[in-house]
Structure 1
Amino acid sequence: MFRPLTPLIRFYVYALHGCLCEVVFTAAWDWYELRDRKLASHTSLWALPIYGAAILLIERLHLHLWPRCPLLARLAVYTLLTYLWEFCMGFLLRQLGACPWDYSAFRFNLMGLVTLEYALPWALACLIAERVVIKNTLRIRLESPDNYPPTHP
């Protein structure tokens, strides 16, 4: 018997995906802005629960919107949700003295917690999340532990 991944396992997959994307994005951004060929990158452990929960929310939205909503409308909803989520998480972390990002140097920022300059990268990230990560994660099935062969010492 095969069963789908639990929400906790999907959260884990989504958290790792988000962190990997952030590592790649920050390395690419620093290369573009600073011409830093080391491709060093940075993230925070806070990114794991932030990305895991955000992509789980997008997954739920996707399952609700997919049959009735065109792609561009879904991407707009996902991107708006992403901005709202990033703002709320950043605001909460800032209250704790733990917010790892600050967009104050960007022209179109709101309280340094979100910036419109990232709208296209966020929309692209949401497209990849919907079309690749969520789609394939929901297709994964695990064999029930009852079917495992017995282990012997």
Structure 2
Amino acid sequence: MLTRFIIYGLLGWNMEVFWTGLMSGLNGNPRLVAHTYLWMFPIYGLAVLLEPLHEKIRCLHWYLRGMIWVVVIWTVEFITGGLLRLLVGTSPWIYRDGWQVYGLIRLDMAPLWFAAGLLFEQIHNRLAKSDLLAGNE
């Protein structure tokens, strides 16, 4: 489980750096400035706890699974961001634009989380084929 936690944490960091760099470029910055936060590593690592959910919803149509992932990711984002806000006074993300809820989730990011959830499934499937899910970490 620890190995998969680290894998998900590192993958999440990399996806976030790629995404923020891409958005920087699309917003006119040719340097493609990208960033993430140390807090995000354990938050992305928590994806290991979603593997049982993936097993339970595996038989559903991909569109329904994607919608489930949107709700799950929003929930994780809201809870972890809210907890960090309580503990340290702020969260790694503070949404001010878009359709946001308390600055912790953005409703207009649903398509991104939909795709991210389905990508997570593919990563989980690949890990399942390896020894990393068999406890041989």
Q: What's the offset of the Cα at 1:130?
A: 0.7
Unaligned runs of 5+ in 1: 1-6, 146-153
Which amino acid counterpart does residue 16 of structure 1 have in structure 2? L
1:105 aligns with one of 94, 97, 105: 97
Structure 2 partner of 1:129: 120
Q: What residue in structure 2 maps to residue 24 of structure 1?
A: 18
Q: CA deviation at 1:39?
A: 1.3
| Residue in structure 2 matching 1:115, options 75, 94, 106 | 106
Which portions of structure 1, spanning 4 or more consecutive aligned residues, are displaced by more than 2 angstroms?
Answer: none
RMSD between superposed Cα atoms in Å: 1.7
Equivalent residue, structure 2, for 1:47: 40
Identity of aligned residues (%): 32
Paired with 2:90 and 2:52, the residues of 1 have a C-alpha distance of 28
TM-score, with length taken from structure 2: 0.90
Q: Is there any run of 5+ residues in structure 2 with no aligned partner, and where?
A: none
State the match for 1:91 in structure 2: 82
Matched positions, count: 133
Q: Which amino acid aligns with 1:116?
A: L
Aligned to 1:40, the other structure's residue is in SS state: coil
Q: Does 1:78 find its partner at 2:69?
A: yes
SS class of match (1:99): coil
Higher relative contact order (CA 8 A, sep 6+): 1
Q: After TM superposition, give the deviation of residue 58 of structure 1 in Å.
A: 2.9
1-structure distance, mates of 2:97, 2:57: 35
Match of 2:5 in 1: 11
Contact 1:23–1:42, Cα closer than 8 Å, also in 2: yes
Q: Distance in 2 between matches of 1:75 and 1:59?
A: 14
After TM superposition, the structure 1 stretch with the greater mean CA deviation from structure 2, 84-93 or 58-67, is 58-67
Q: 1:139 aligns with which of 123, 126, 129?
A: 129
Letter in 1 for 2:76: W
Answer yes or no: is the 8 Å Cα contact 1:58–1:78 preserved in 2.
Answer: no
Deviation at 1:129, TM superposition (A): 1.0
Rg larger in 1 or in 2?
Answer: 1
> What is the CA distance between 1:98 and its match in structure 2?
3.9
Q: Which has the higher helix share?
A: 2
Displacement of 1:37 in angstroms is 1.5
